[in-house]
Amino acid sequence: MSSMDLEKTKRTQSLKIIISEAIMVIAVIITVIVLALAVSGYWLNSDFKVERQGLLQISSIPTGAAVEIDGESPWLQRTNTSKVLSSGTHTIKLSKDGYDTWSKTIDIREGLLYRIHYPRLFLKNRETESTVSLPDATFSTVSPDRNTLLATNNTTEWSVIKLSDEKIVPKPMDISKVFSGVTMPDDGSKGTFDDKIIQADWAKDNAHILIKTQNHEWILLNVDNSKDSINLTKEFGIVFDEVEILNNSASSLLVSQDQSLRKIDVSNRQISAILAEKVISLDHYENEIVFVAEKDSDLQDDKNKYTLGIIKGDNKITELADLEESAKVVISRFYDDKYVTLLNKNQVKLYKEVELEEVKTFELPFTPQNIKVGHAGEFIIMDDGAKIATLDMEALDIIDWQAESASVQWLDDDMFYVISNGDLIVYDFDGLNRRVIANGVSSGFPATITEDKWLYYFSNGVLTREGLIAR
């Protein structure tokens, strides 16, 4: 081969290498751009037009339900999956053989993830079993993990029941030395409980219950060993207005007397000095306490008569804001952010706790009397009896709805229930997917779901359960 041909061949090879590398670089750039756009929510629709989309992540109980989106059933689409959807309104429907259906219309926002993790489908033909007879039960309450039930009666022997056990065997609890409102006979037999429980709040350890009685007595009841229970009213010689559990093990309590706040160290039986005064509303999350208090009269100006404050682990007060009007307050965490929610009449204001940055303001069609934080801070519940408004932190929107009665309770972490005319009626936390799931249910006693396996409720003095899983 001549030198000219050799030189020509080298130039051709060099040109091919340059073109090949250029194509690779362009391909990498295009891939990076496509991935960046995809991460930002941009995608090609069915008409091959670029639009910004969002991601739906959906699961269900039980798993494996068929997913229908806007009337169409994607091939082999089941729950516990993710789906890219165009931004805008979509109707989701879940179904499974042998179970009822679930549906909801959602709003997908551009470039954002929308999680739906709470849908529950109920088995249609369930087996019903009478587990234990409790004809004398006067009150009952269920632990946060929904595995333990305490049933009380008018004697000094109450019953602790493990709902997760296949065979239900009540364990007796002697409360004769716990409450003051007890009368004991001379023959040594069990006595009578002459008081009445009007409030019962469990600690997250599922072993302690904070009980308030009609005679204004506060008891920290140890479910595992009643001898370790504490009569707070007798121990400290104070008639508290309110008591709240501050930590998981109930070793720290927050108490209120004449609108003054203090802490109780349960282990050392010590009560702190006054932390804040003239408190009209409060809530806590972990070691942080938020409150709304009336300002001292000599410090009031013509406009701001109230203050929003926070107390952290060092027990020092930090004023977050001045308020013109009184308000109810709650504190919560959603994902990695803490939020403070203020309810003033029918106005709801949501703030990020850091610098009290306002997120959104809502106007409700009614005036709620109560405000509470739902499971894991995912929603805020406001109610005036049967009128309810749910602030969905995922959708950042409020839905107001009406229940059948004012005695609305939690069935699990995401579902409400009421008992009306013997019917056990359930709703999602936003009032949607109303269903009647049982009949002949006694009101005044709790219903609950344990381990996603059993539905428990009382019927004519009998603790009844139904299987929720198809066999």
Domain end residue (candidates: 116, 140, 162): 116
pLDDT at 50: 47
Residue 287 within any structural domain of the chain: no
pLDDT at 186: 86
In a shared domain, residues 25 and 54: no
In a shared domain, residues 83 and 24: no
Domain end residue (candidates: 116, 144, 168): 116
| pTM for the predicted model, two decimal places | 0.86
Residue 108 within any structural domain of the chain: yes
Residue 362 within any structural domain of the chain: no
pLDDT at 72: 86
In a shared domain, residues 26 and 91: no
pLDDT at 79: 78
The angle formed by the CA atoms of residues 451, 454 and 457, to the nearest 5 degrees, is 120
pLDDT at 48: 46
pLDDT tens digits, 453-467: 999 999 999 999 999
CATH of the domain at 87: 2.60.40
In a shared domain, residues 33 and 53: no
Instruction: Specify the amino acid at residue 303.
Output: K
Mean pLDDT of the chain: 89
Band of pLDDT at residue 89, cut at 50, 70 and 90: very high
Domain end residue (candidates: 86, 116, 146): 116
Residue 35 within any structural domain of the chain: yes
In a shared domain, residues 35 and 75: no
In a shared domain, residues 61 and 29: no
Residue 147 within any structural domain of the chain: no
pLDDT tens digits, 2-51: 555 556 565 666 666 666 666 776 766 665 554 555 544 455 445 544 45
What range does the domain containing 25 cover? 3-39
In a shared domain, residues 98 and 72: yes
pLDDT at 110: 86
Residue 334 within any structural domain of the chain: no
Residue 67 within any structural domain of the chain: yes
How would you label 137-159 residue by residue, b for 16+ Cβ within 10 Å and e otherwise?
bbbbbbbbebbbbbbbbebbbbb
Band of pLDDT at residue 80, cut at 50, 70 and 90: confident
In a shared domain, residues 11 and 76: no
Q: Percent of the chain beyond pLDDT 90?
A: 74
* Domains contained in the chain, number: 2
If one compares 159 and 48, the residue with the highest pLDDT of the two is 159
How would you label 433-444 residue by residue, b for 16+ Cβ within 10 Å and e otherwise?
bebebbeebbee
Residue 84 within any structural domain of the chain: yes
pLDDT at 35: 52
In a shared domain, residues 47 and 111: yes
pLDDT tens digits, 323-372: 999 999 999 999 899 999 999 999 999 999 878 999 999 999 999 999 99
Separation of alpha carbons 327 and 369, rounded Å: 11
How would you label 170-184 residue by residue, b for 16+ Cβ within 10 Å and e otherwise?
beebebbebbeebee
